[in-house]
Amino acid sequence: MSRICDGRAVIITGAGGGLGRAYALAFAAEGAGVVVNDINEAAAQDTVATIEASGGRAVVDRSDITSYDDSLNAVRTALDNFGSLHVVVNNAGICRDRMFASMTEEDWDAVIAVHLKGHFCITSHAVHYWRGQSKEGKAVDARIINTSSGAGLNGSIGQSNYAAAKAGIAALTINQAAELARYGITANALAPSARTGMTEEVFADMMEKPEDGGFDAFDPANIAPLVVWLGSTGSAGVTGRVFE
């Protein structure tokens, strides 16, 4: 039986845990080769081991997404291991929550670097690769999947740095969609609500697992099917959207 991502290769940042791990497992289950990017090597290796134990294909990558030069290695990892690259899922993130009056320059720079610059670096190298293929006359069917947030769309008290970065990512996605369609590249974004290392402390009560074993509304696995479909060939007509 064919799977919707057979033969495709994807880079997922922050794939050692939370949403990124859920995406990695789901992409692999649908046939994709997965580059598991994470600064936590042990967590990334665990994701890879889980994928391989299920018969999937995955490899660890520890490129620094805030470094333009180093992030090129994530693209090289995909090409070296899977022979191509079709999807970049920008998922990695951090929080440095403070009220604006108490926020330091370091708090601001760290969040902007990981979220906003982090969305630029790997994607820039991927786009250079895809544009090169297009100019050579090769068919390109590529996907950029970004991560915005309700904080970026509506604001969030105590998170001005995070909200600003996430709003920037939503705008970036719209621009990417408009500029890159000529090369066969789509760009979409998510504003997900899920239990992750970033949210479970801040929203612990709201995101607590149901004690009765009922539907877990904040399980990261609930978001993964949309992300995998957006990374598939079937989503070619969808671009410039933010899914909340």
Residues marked as catalytic? 149, 162, 166
Helices (H) and strands (E) in the chain, counts: 8, 7
Across-strand partners of 142? 185
Distance, in Å, from the CA atom of 209 to the CA atom of 143, rounded to the nearest integer, reads: 32
Q: How far is CA 108 from the centre of its chain?
A: 21
Confirm if 96 and 85 have CB atoms less than 8 A apart.
Answer: no
Pairing of β 57-61 and β 87-89: unpaired
Give me Rg for the CA atoms of the chain. 17
Alpha-carbon distance values, 64 to 31, 61, 145 (Å): 26, 9, 18
User: Left if phi > 0, otherwise alpha if psi is -120 to 50, otherwise beta: which for 138?
Assistant: beta
Residues 158-176 as b or e (16 or more Cβ within 10 Å = b): bbbbbbbbbbbbbebbbeb
Confirm if 234 and 8 have CB atoms less than 8 A apart.
Answer: no
